[in-house]
Amino acid sequence: MSRWSSFCRVVVPYGLALQAIAGIGFHLDYSAEIDFLIGLGPRLTGSPAHNVLIEHIEKALTDMGLETKSDNYKFEYMTEPSAPPSLFVDGKHIEIASVYPYSGLTNVSGVTSKLIEIGPAMDWHLAEGSIAVLPLSNPPVSYSTVLRTWDPSKMWKGEVRNPLLSTNNLGQSLAAAKEAGVKAVILAWDKTISPSNAQNQYLPCRFLFAGLPAAFVSGRDSKDILAAAQANQSATFTLASQLRSGTSSRTLYAAVKGKNATKSHESVLIITHTDGTNVIEENGHIGMLQLVQDTVRKQPHRTHVFVFTTGHLRIPSFSQSVAATSRWLDDHPELWAGGPGQHRAVAGLAIEHLGPVEFVDDIKSQSYTSTGKAQPEILYASTRELAALTDREWRGADPAFVRVLNPSNLTQFGEGAALSDKGIPNVSLATGPLYLFATWEGDEHDLLDMKSFTRQVESFRRLRGRLDVMDSTSIICDQRYEER
């Protein structure tokens, strides 16, 4: 019996709560799954809450009769601080908006030194032996420069100020500061981001441990810390965490073997990640469990592989490629690569960030509020054929039209980038509200539009059903993919 045959097996009935939905069949109790997710709080990579979620998903899969497998990884885990991070300037408290994840740590006494402002040239040597203060802006970025649609008539318009983009290059800056002998770094947001938007942003989260503690301040606190630096005052910054080497985290996966003798050697990959900061980042596993349930009720023609990836918030600890799922793809070519004795992935779906409510940051009034509307979707299709299919089958946040993005030669946000990087045709949802990477202090139900959530899951259900039966040449007629 082959490795694959021993993994795929016939599924059996299961006991997850189901609800009827017109025209689709049955769906999971989405509200119960959402409440469970909110109850866990942030699920940072390798944290206890993250582990509980993975176990929850694993139990759901086994209850549906699937055999699960795990890829277990070890990495350096930075614990929650033993006390809230703090910043004092000559005894005056300065509120920290957020901590730079995996920047560095201090002992319980913190780091005390003179504050030195670093200008735009970022000559870190000026702050050798001191605490560097770096002013930071959140400039507008044109949507059209990062999001290109297949249909030019549906192009994105306007601009966005997103701290995810503004902090994207800070990893290199922190490394330079460390090399220059800086003791700590305070990043002072200017008025291009409101204090409420800056609060608790888990950014940037895609760099290795720097060994240099850093934090962000905003609003009035930014003015105060810059004034203190100009006055040659000293500060004490405390970030009392620990690094735990050998911390475990795992990617979970399961499969349903195809029943069609001519197509069962072909695979459809369906992916998400399990670590996240709030109810939106990440809730894709709920949609995936629905798709698993669909394949349990009616065995698919093509083999389906469901991958619940770890490491999205710590990509460099797990993969040297574009996304956390890249590690799983590298480790399991037998499930997708199409070589001798291997399954060939004809398509993939990446399900992330379902149903977010839109928030806007008013720079003039420094207010950060919900519009009450669904966040405009970032929806990719990596081939023209898939774009046409998605345009027909998708029911999105905007009922007037579906806007499908072409990731070619541009950044593809989300784990779907791992599929594109391997030449696997895919449809990927990775909508990006401003709070995507923020831990939320209020009621997280306010971040979720359940109608949009359900509509997006239903769209993925339709797409999966079509991808299961379509001829592979109808999925992609692109030489780049056919030559794999």
Taking only the tens place, the pLDDT of each residue in 398-454 is 667 789 999 965 679 999 999 999 999 999 999 999 999 999 999 999 999 999 999
Is it the case that residue 142 has pLDDT exceeding 60? yes
Tell me, what's the pLDDT at 399? 61
Which residues, at least 6 apart from 348, have a Cβ–Cβ distance to it below 8 Å? 268, 269, 270, 271, 416, 419, 424, 425, 426, 427, 428
Query: Which comes out higher in pLDDT, residue 387 or 398?
Result: 387
Torsion of CA 139, 131, 314, 459, to 10 degrees: -20
pLDDT band at residue 145 using 50, 70 and 90 as cut-offs: confident
Is it the case that residue 465 has pLDDT exceeding 90? yes
Tell me, what's the pLDDT at 102? 97
Handedness of CA 352, 358, 364, 365 (dihedral sign): negative
Which residues, at least 6 apart from 186, have a Cβ–Cβ distance to it below 8 Å? 87, 115, 131, 132, 133, 134, 214, 215, 216, 217, 225, 235, 237
Is it the case that residue 158 has pLDDT exceeding 60? yes
Is it the case that residue 2 has pLDDT exceeding 70? no
DSSP secondary structure, 88-131, as one string? EETTEEE---EE-TTS----TT-EEEEEEE--TT--GGGGTTSE
Tell me, what's the pLDDT at 21? 39
374 and 397 in contact (C-beta within 8 Å)?
yes
For range 274-279, the mean pLDDT: 98
Query: Which comes out higher in pLDDT, residue 2 or 445?
Result: 445
Residue 455 C-alpha from the chain's centroid: 20
Query: Which comes out higher in pLDDT, residue 229 or 12?
Result: 229
Tell me, what's the pLDDT at 6? 36
- Of the spans 12-21, 30-39, 147-156, which averages the highest pLDDT? 30-39
Is it the case that residue 482 has pLDDT exceeding 90? no
Tell me, what's the pLDDT at 206? 87
Tell me, what's the pLDDT at 328? 98
**Each residue of 303-348: pLDDT tens digit?**
999 999 999 999 999 988 889 999 999 999 999 999 999 999 999 9
pLDDT band at residue 5 using 50, 70 and 90 as cut-offs: very low
pLDDT band at residue 388 using 50, 70 and 90 as cut-offs: very high
Residue type, 361: D
Alpha helices in 355-424 (DSSP H): 384-393, 416-421
Share of the chain above pLDDT 70, in %: 91
Instruction: Give dist(CA 325, CA 219) in Å, integer.
Output: 37
Is it the case that residue 18 has pLDDT exceeding 60? no
**Each residue of 335-381: pLDDT tens digit?**
999 999 999 999 999 999 999 999 999 999 999 999 999 999 999 99
Is it the case that residue 220 has pLDDT exceeding 80? yes
116 and 245 in contact (C-beta within 8 Å)?
no
Token look-up 């990579």 returns 45
For range 192-196, the mean pLDDT: 98
Tell me, what's the pLDDT at 409? 54
Tell me, what's the pLDDT at 265? 93
Tell me, what's the pLDDT at 476? 67
For range 444-467, the mean pLDDT: 97
DSSP code for 337: B
Query: Which comes out higher in pLDDT, residue 480 or 208?
Result: 208
Tell me, what's the pLDDT at 475? 82
Tell me, what's the pLDDT at 10? 32
For the chain, the average pLDDT equals 91
> Tokens at residue 448, please?
């979720």
